[in-house]
Copies of this chain bind each other. A is one copy, B any other.
Amino acid sequence: MGKVFTVRGERTRQRLIDAATVVFARQGFLDTKITDITAEAGSANGSFYNYFESKEGIFREVILRINDQMRGALNDRLGPEATPRERIEHATRQYVRAYRANSRMVVLLEQVSSITDEFRDMRLETRRRYRGRNERAIRRWQAEGIVDTELPPRYAAEALASMVSNFCYMWLAMDEDYEEDLVVFTLSRMWANSLGMDLGSDTSNAPPGNETA
């Protein structure tokens, strides 16, 4: 499958991906010309096609790298001894931080996914995985009787994924002004609330210092 290159070749290939990451982040997908990438990498124009089929081709590589990082961040979960609210808050914080660390690229993927079907699917897949995780948790909690059983799990999971991811989008990509701790607090609490999860004596979710009243 993947073509094999010599050591020198592999090094050049990586240089190009690095350069592409920089240039895409700076100029967006559409405004990036192949020559911008090779110039940034210090290679000749034609060298590009020794390693990639097209602009889409190298973009795929860039995104795959980013996706790996994102996935890693999201797989960091609390153990079973934590309370549901603790787990929700932890997961939210992880998501928020991963988004924040890669916001440029997430936005980029967003942009490109509206252009090419392939990337639409890549983006959707990430989103579905996120929703799927939510859905499984909801089903579990419904079975345990600790959340509202009238909510259809898939719908609720989609709603929660929407709430969190689109909030991050508005905040980090559209530059709305928010503050991380308060974001995590708000989203976590609304998440739990929305499922009808009892607040009980759970004190893990104390506000981090509220907005000006």
Contacts and interface: CB of A to CB of B under 8 A. Distances in A.
Interface of A: 28, 30, 107, 110-111, 114-115, 120, 124, 127, 148, 150-156, 158-167, 169-171, 174, 176, 178, 182-183, 186-187, 189-191, 193-196, 207, 210-211
Nearest to A142: B213
Dominant SS at the A interface? helix
Given A150-B210, A151-B186, A207-B150, A176 B158 contact: yes
A183 B211 contact: no
Nearest to A176: B158
A82 to B, nearest CB: 21
Given A30-B115, A161-B166, 4 more contacts: A30-B30, A107-B114, A120-B174, A150-B207
A183 B176 CA distance: 27
B167 A162 contact: yes
B162 A170 contact: yes
Given A165-B166, A166-B166, A170-B127, A187 B211 contact: no
